[in-house]
Amino acid sequence: MKTKLIAAIALVVAQMGATSSQAANRKVTIVNNSGYTIVEFQGSNVGANSWEEDILGNDVLEHGQKVDINFDDGTGYCKFDFLVTFDDGDQLTEKNFDVCSIGTFTID
């Protein structure tokens, strides 16, 4: 009987965890303090095998500017990898950024 009760409690706790990550806010403010213009910003959940399209589209993010991005891609993932491309061609990669618990990503 104890085993069944423990299993039932574990199942409820696991479901609560899944629900909270699915309902989590995935909005992140991207702040450019790099001194360069960001010409592309890509973010893909850690389960993806390739980079998603450029989130900025035809826009750029100048030094000192910020933009709010919603990373809710419908998968339930909270961890994302970011690829930032600057106007001089240099790139910055950030791995395993938790968009559910961290609301600001600052590029210095």
| Residue 60 tokens, joined | 């750029």
Q: What is the pLDDT of residue 22?
A: 61
In what helix (H) or strand (E) does residue 18 lie, and over which residues does it extend?
A: helix 2-23
Per-residue model confidence as pLDDT tens digits over 36-95: 999 999 999 999 999 999 999 999 999 999 999 999 999 999 999 999 999 999 999 999
Question: Distances from the Cα of 35 to the Cαs of 32, 39, 68, 105, in angstroms?
Answer: 8, 13, 19, 15
**44-60 pLDDT per residue, tens:** 999 999 999 999 999 99
Cα separation, 55 vs 63, whole angstroms? 17
| pTM (predicted TM-score) | 0.78
Among 31, 14, 95, residue whose Cα is nearest residue 67 = 31
What six digits make up the tokens of 23? 């309902």
Residue ranges and CATH numbers for the domains of the chain are: 25-107 (2.60.40.2890)
Q: Residue 21: pLDDT above 90? A: no
